[in-house]
Amino acid sequence: MMNTFRKSISGRPGSNIPRPSGTISNINTSSGGGGGGGGGGGGGVLHSNRNVQETYLFPNLKPQAIVSCMSDVQVACTEDDLARPTAQKMLVVYEAFMDVATGSPKDDVYLDDIQEMKIVSHPDFVIDGVRFYIFLQQLASMMQEVGVNDFTSRDVTKPEAERVRRVLSAVINFAKFREDRQPAFFQEMREADEVIDLIVDREKEHEQMTQELENLKQRKIAQEPRVEELKVINQNLALEMEVYKKKEVETTQLKDDVTKERSLLVERN
């Protein structure tokens, strides 16, 4: 079932889970989300509390099924890990899912500026904390993609067995759904591409015909002086023909008169 998990969870080959953005801070589902409480329990992925009723549109998988699916993508996990999850174990599991989903390990690109600050007091502690926060943002983005919109840092730092089962079920069900839908999706994409190609071909034909018509117009414009000249010549020829016709009539009449006179002379002699 999970043989194409990497493609399924990331949508299409080559795509990645969205990078951290301003929308991540809206994951907070606590009733006091924006006010900020004692100890910094305001908004954001780090301090969200799940005190509202959760709605899941996917079935919870059995632990055996979860372990089997995770094994298919080389994510080490046992039923005991699911029954008694720990922060250390879930961090490893979620990191592995991120690696499979994006094709790359945790993103440290945002740490360059921090390292350049040359922090004197506990630099490793600060960098590790920032790295963990970035990872949580990326993980929360991935969870939003699979339908877990209330994923928080507690799912990593204080995991609960039932919650872990639901989150992992969401990831696996989403991957399976994508895997089942991909053939139809790609067929629709191919049909859409064919229509687009047809439109492009017709547009090219239209452009060619338009250019040919324009060329004909330009040739006609270029030939207009010659056409006018030929018209004048034709008119002159017509006038000359009229003159010749008159001369022909006169010549014919003269010929007839001469013939008559000759005949009369012959009769007299």
**Residue 39, phi-psi category: left (phi > 0), alpha (psi -120 to 50), beta (remainder):** left
Q: How confident is the model at residue 19 (pLDDT cuts 50, 70, 90)?
A: very low
- pLDDT tens for residues 222-235? 888 888 888 888 88
- pLDDT tens for residues 49-59? 444 344 446 67
The pLDDT value recorded for residue 260 is 82
Stretch 127-132: mean pLDDT: 72
Of 2 and 244, the one with more pLDDT: 244
Give, in order, the Cα–Cα distances in Å from 198 to each of 192, 193, 194, 195, 223. Answer: 10, 9, 6, 5, 37
97 and 2 Cβ atoms separated by less than 8 Å: no
Tell me the domain boundaries of the chain. 5-181
Check pLDDT > 80 for residue 265.
no
Please compute Rg for the chain using Cα positions: 44
